[in-house]
Chains A and B, each alone.
Chain A
Amino acid sequence: MRSFSYERATSIEAALQAAARNVDARFIAGGTNLLDLMKLEIEKPSHLIDVNGLGLDTIEKSPEGGLRIGALVRNTDLAADETVRRDYGLLSRALVAGASGQLRNKATTAGNLLQRTRCPYFYDPNQACNKRQPGSGCSAFGGVTRQLGVIGVSEACLATQPSDMAVAMRALDAVVETRGASGAKRSIPIGDFHRLPGDTPHIETELEPGELITGVVLPPPVGGKQIYRKVRDRASYAFALVSVGAVIHPDGSGQVAVGGVAHKPWRVEDAETELSKGARAMSAVLMEGARPTEQNKFKISLVERTLEAVLKEARE
C-alpha cells in the first residue's frame, strides 16, 4: 500500500471539489474492496475522500412511488429494510447471498456497485492484466478461467463483475443517480452503468472521473415472485459461479438478470419474451453469442438449469 492523504468530506460539493482537485483521488465508503486492492497496489490512490459523512445513508420513497436508496446505505441495512423486504424481495435476497455478515455491515450501495472483478490474474500484480495495466495483455486468456466470463468477453479481458446486488438491481430496472465534477446531476439506467470490456477493460462503468454516486432509485414495486438463486462451490462466503435474479409474474412473464457470466449483470430484454416457452428457450437467446473457454463452458448449461429451477420455484 502506498502512503496517501485522507480527508472526510462533509458535503457533496466538498467531496466533488476534492475529487476535481486530485485526479488520483478515490472516494472511500466501506473500504472493504478499495483497501484490499490498495494493500496489493492494484489501486494506488494518493488521496482518499471519505464519503461516509455526506448524509447519503437513508432509504426513502421516491416521488414516483419507488424507492430511493442512498449511496451510503449499508448492505445489511438495505437487506433488512421493511419496504425492500416486502416490495423488492429480490434485492434483499441478493444482498444476503453476498459476502459475510461482517462485510455487509460495512459495504455500501455505491461501493458494492463499483466493486472490482475477482479474476485471479487481476489480483496478482506479476501477471499481465489489461484492467490493471492497460495494454499489458490478458494472462487469464489461455489460463485458469473456470470462474471467469463466458459472454460479452473480449480478447482483452475475461473478467466478470462479481456483485450479487447489481444482478438484482438490473432485473429491477434500477437507476443510478450521480453528481458530476461540475455538480451536475445524472441518472444512469443500471443497464448502461457497467460496460463490456471491449479493448478498454480498465474502464468499467459510465462514471466520469470524479463523479459521485449519490443513490440508486428503484421504480415502483412490480410484484411477482422474486427469486435470487446463487450457485457456488461452497455454501456461503463465495462468489457466484452463476446467479439468477428473477421477477416472475403470474402470467409467466418476467425480468431476469444473470450474474457470474459477464463484465456486467447480464440481461437481454429480448430473451424475456421467450420466458413462457421455458428456461431452455429463454437461455438460448440470453446466452446467444457466448464464448466460453473449455474450463467454463459448464456455465452455459448451468445458467439454463438454474433458470429452470427458478421458474419451477416461481410456479410453486
Chain B
Amino acid sequence: MQFDKPATTNPIDRLKVVGKPIHRIDGELKTTGRAIYAYEWHDPNMRYAYGYPVGSAIAKGHVTSIDSVAANNAPGVLGVVTTLDVGDLQKGKLNTAKLFGGSEIQHYHQAVAVVVAETFEQARAAAHLVQVEYAPEKGRFDLRVELVNAGAPDPSTEPESSAGDFQTAFAAAPVTLDAEYTTPDQSHSMMEPHASIAAWNGDEVTIWTSSQMIDWWRTDLATTLGVDKEKVHLMSPFIGGGFGGKLFLRADAVLAAFAAKSVGRPVKVALPRPMMMNNTTHRPATIQRIRIGAEKDGRITAIAHESWSGDLLGGGPETAVMQTRLLYAGANRMTAMKLAVLDLPEGNAMRAPGEAPGLMALEIAIDEMAETLGMDPIAFRITNDTQVDPENPERPFSQRDLIGCLKLGATKFGWDEREKPATRREGDWMIGIGVAAAFRNNLVMPSGARVKLDRNGVVTVETDMTDIGTGSYTIIAQTAAEMMGVAMDKVAVHLGDSRFPVSAGSGGQFGANSATSGVYAACVKLREAVASKLGFNSADVVFDNGEARSGNRVIALAEAAGEDGLVGEDTMEWGDLTKTHQQSTFGAHFVEVGVDIATGETRIRRMLAVCAAGRILNPITARSQVIGAMTMGAGGALSEELAVDTRHGFFVNHDLAGYEVPVHADIPHQEVIFMDETDPYSSPMKAKGIGELGLCGVSAAIANAIYNATGVRVRHYPITLDKLIGGLPEVA
C-alpha cells in the first residue's frame, strides 16, 4: 500500500481497541521471567558452548601477535578464534568501525578474540590467558584539540542550511546572544547487554540476538560472514532495551557466528558490561555555538546554530542543529555541522540523535535570550512560533501545537508561581522551575506484515518488527484487532524473526507509527481476502464482533477463514507527504528542582511533559515511553558523561558504577499529558512517534530550572555540583 494522500476515515477511527489503555500483552511474561531473551534461549537438544570476548587494550594501532596457547590449554576450552585467524572481513554497510577481523585496531575494546569453552566461567577464565601484542599508534582523542581539523561531513547528512542573511541581521539586531554549549559523550547503557547465540546447520546460520533492526542486522551479518543473506536466520523476540545501541550489527553476533563455526557447536556470547561502553557505539559529544538576534519585542530576526562533533574516519556528525532549522521563526538563519576525526569508539545514534543534544543547547539559549529580553520564556517561544518550515515557508507543518503544549503545561504545572532567579528557598534548598520546548521529527519507514486468519477466528500477525520494551506487541495487536473487528484475545503477535516480512524496526521513533501502518496495510489485504471469499463487495464490508457483515449477511470470521485459513500480506510504502508537509512532534517539559545551597547537589522535585504527537495508540505504553525518556533526560542533565581519557583514548567510567544513570530516588514525581490529536498526514493510523520526543528538551528544562533556583548559568553538561558551587552563596 502506498500512503500518498492524507488519511480519511478508516476502520482505525472506530477506536474500539486502538487508543485504549490496554496493558502490555507480553507484560505477564516479563514480570514472571518467562520472556526468553537472547542469551537465555534454550533448546534442550542443543549443547551450547560459551564464548567470552577479548577487547583491545589499546585505542589505535595494530595487533602484532596473539598467543592463545595457554587459553587453548585451559580447562574446558574448546577453541579460541582471533581477529588474526579470521583475517580481514567485509564490514557491514551500516557499521563505521569493523566489529572483528584483521590486525588493525580502530578503538579501545574492539574485539580481538573470542574464547569458547564448555561453561561461561571456563571461557571467562581462559579469556584472561590470551596474550595480545600490539604496535600502538598515536590517536586523536580530544574533540577540543581536533576542532581545528574539523571539516564538512558527508553531503548526504545535509550539514549546512541557510535562509535570508544571518550575518547582517545578527549584526543589526538590538538584542543578541552568542554562547557556546557542550554536551558529553553518552552511553545507551540499556539493561540487557548485547548478546547472541549462533548455531550453524550446514551453510545456514541461526542467530538469536538482541536487535532493534532485524533486516539491517541480517544484511550486515551476511556481509561480514561472507554468506548469502538467505542463509542467515535472525530471531530477536524480546529485547531488554536498546536506545539505538542495538540498531546496527554488533560484535557479539559476529563473534558467536565465528565461534560456533570453529567449534562446531552453538555458541553464546554476551558483551560483559565493562566492555559495552567502548566496544559498541555511543552518542558523540558536541560543542555547539548558538547566536540569536531579536527585536526588542522578542521577535527573532536572526538565528544560527553550529555544532562540532567527532567520529572515526568514515563516520558521521551528531546532527545537533536539525531542530533549529524548524523550531522557531526568524527570516535570517543558518546552521552548520563540522566533523572531526577521532579515534574514540564509534559515535552513532542514541535515542533522539541530533535533537536530544541539540535541544540541550538550544533550549538553554532560548531561556537566556528570554531573560535578556525581559520576557517570560514561554511568551518568547510563543512569539516565535511558526506554522511553516522557516527555511522553506511554502512547506507547512502537517500539524503543530507547540503553543498548546506550553500553555496547558504552564497551567498544570503552576508556571505563574515562578520567581526571579535565586529567590525561592525552602530550608537549605534553593528552588527553581524551568521549561523547555520538545521537538522531534516524525520519520516513517517502509514496513511490512503478514496477517493470518484461521478457522478459529484467531488473527495472527507476523512481522520482523521488534519490541524493545516499548509495547510493539500490544499496539500491533490493537491495530489488528481494530482492523479485523475482533477482541484482543483473538489476536496473536509474532515479532523479531527474519522469516517474517521486513518492517520498519525500532528506531528514530518511527517504529510505532510505521509498523502499525504496515499491519494496517496487511489487514486491508486480509479484509479483501475475506470479502472476496464470501463474495462480498469489499468496500462495504464491516468487520466487527468477530464477524464480517455486508448488507444483511453476517458471517463469522472463523467460518470465513475455512479449514485453510486466509492470509493478507503487504508493506506500507510512503509517498511524498513528508516532503510537502513538515511532520514533527511537539511538547513542553516543565521541571522543578532543588539545589542544596551548601553542596550544590541538584535534586529533581517534579517533572511534567505535555506532548502533541498525533493519535496516541495506547496511553499506557506511550506514557511509559515518555517517563522513561524524561528519566534519561534527567541523567543527561545531571550525571551521565562518558569521561574520556584523552591520553589513552577510551571512556574511563565503563561500568554502571562509574556511568551514573538515574536511580529511583532521583525521579520522585513525573506526569505526562497527551494532547488530543490526530494527524492525517502521518499515516492511516494518524499517529506519530513519541518515544524520542519525551527526551527532547528535558535536560534543558532541568538546566533552566537550576538557573532559576541558583542564578548560576551552566552551559556544559552534565550540570554537576562542581560547576555550581563556585556561584552559590555562603552557607550560613
Contacts and interface: CB of A to CB of B under 8 A. Distances in A.
Contact of B721 (A3, A279, A302, A308): A302
Given A306-B598, A312-B732, A234 B652 contact: no
A159 to B, nearest CB: 14
B75 A144 contact: no
Interface string B644-678: 11011000111101101011111000000000000
A312 B652 contact: no
Interface in B668-727: 718, 720-722, 725-726
B91 interface: no
A241 interface: yes
Interface in B327-381: none
Interface in B112-170: 121, 124-125, 128
Interface string A283-316: 0000000000000001001100110110010000
B539 interface: no
A118 B598 CA distance: 25
Interface string A135-170: 000010011101000000000000000000000000
B222 to A, nearest CB: 33
B731 interface: yes
B599 A237 contact: no
A279 B732 CA distance: 10
B538 interface: no
A231 B721 contact: yes
A309 B121 contact: no
A222 interface: no
A3 B125 CA distance: 8
B429 to A, nearest CB: 12
A1 interface: yes
A143 B647 contact: yes
A234 B666 contact: yes
Most buried by B among A121, A126, A232, A312: A126
Question: Which range holds the interface residue count of chain A?
Answer: 35 or more
B643 interface: yes
Interface of B (DSSP majority class): loop
B428 A234 contact: no
Contact of B663 (A41, A236, A298): A236
Contacts of A127: 648
Interface string A217-233: 00000000000010111
A241 B721 contact: yes
B274 interface: yes
A305 B647 CA distance: 33
B387 interface: no
Contact of A234 (B598, B639, B655, B731): B639
A28 B662 CA distance: 31
Contact of B732 (A39, A236, A237, A308): A308
A40 interface: yes
A234 B725 contact: no
B261 interface: no
A245 B187 CA distance: 34
Contacts of B662: 234
Contacts of A309: 428, 596, 598-599, 731
B125 A231 contact: no
A2 B652 CA distance: 25
A120 B660 CA distance: 13
B589 interface: no
A193 interface: no
B603 A235 contact: yes
A306 B428 CA distance: 12
Most buried by B among A142, A144, A279: A144
Contacts of A143: 645, 647-648, 652
B271 interface: no
A298 B428 CA distance: 20
A298 B665 CA distance: 25
A118 B657 contact: yes
A42 to B, nearest CB: 11
B666 A235 contact: yes
Contact of B660 (A139, A144, A233, A302): A233
A238 B598 contact: no
B732 A126 contact: no
Contact of B725 (A118, A120, A301): A301
Contacts of A118: 657-658
Nearest to A278: B732
B57 interface: yes
Nearest to B74: A3
B638 A120 contact: no
Contact of B648 (A139, A231, A234): A139
A192 interface: no
Contacts of A306: 598-599
Contacts of A234: 638-639, 660, 662-663, 665-666
Contacts of A305: 598-600, 725, 728, 731
A232 B655 CA distance: 17
B26 interface: no
A124 interface: yes
Interface in B420-434: 428
B528 interface: no
A94 B658 CA distance: 21
Contacts of B657: 118, 239
Contact of A3 (B75, B648, B653, B722): B75
B56 to A, nearest CB: 9
A298 B722 contact: yes
Nearest to A126: B57
A279 B75 CA distance: 59
A308 B598 contact: yes
A312 B125 CA distance: 52
A301 B718 CA distance: 20
Contacts of B598: 305-306, 308-309, 312
Contact of B639 (A121, A231, A233, A312): A233
A44 to B, nearest CB: 9
Interface in B615-653: 638-639, 643-645, 647-648, 652-653
Contacts of B57: 126
A233 B663 contact: no
B130 to A, nearest CB: 12
A83 to B, nearest CB: 28
A57 B128 CA distance: 36
Contacts of B13: none
Contacts of A3: 75, 121, 125
A269 B331 CA distance: 67
B180 interface: no
A144 B658 CA distance: 11
Contact of B655 (A123, A279, A298, A308): A123
Interface string A100-138: 000000000000000000101101101100000000000
A124 B600 CA distance: 30
A14 B647 CA distance: 49
A143 B650 CA distance: 11
Contacts of A142: 647
A280 to B, nearest CB: 10
Contact of A120 (B58, B428, B599, B658): B658
B653 A231 contact: no
Interface of A: 1-3, 39-41, 118, 120-121, 123-124, 126-127, 139, 142-144, 146, 229, 231-239, 241, 279, 298, 301-302, 305-306, 308-309, 312
21 contacts: A1-B124, A2-B128, A40-B274, A41-B128, A120-B654, A123-B274, A123-B658, A124-B274, A124-B652, A126-B58, A139-B645, A231-B721, A234-B638, A237-B663, A237-B665, A302-B600, A302-B725, A309-B598, A309-B599, A312-B428, A312-B731
Given A236-B665, A306-B599, 17 more contacts: A123-B655, A126-B58, A127-B648, A143-B645, A233-B718, A233-B720, A235-B666, A236-B663, A238-B660, A298-B721, A298-B725, A298-B726, A301-B726, A305-B600, A305-B731, A308-B731, A312-B428
The 10 A-B residue pairs whose C-beta atoms are closest, nearest first, are A309-B598, A298-B722, A235-B665, A126-B57, A308-B731, A236-B665, A144-B652, A144-B643, A233-B639, A231-B599
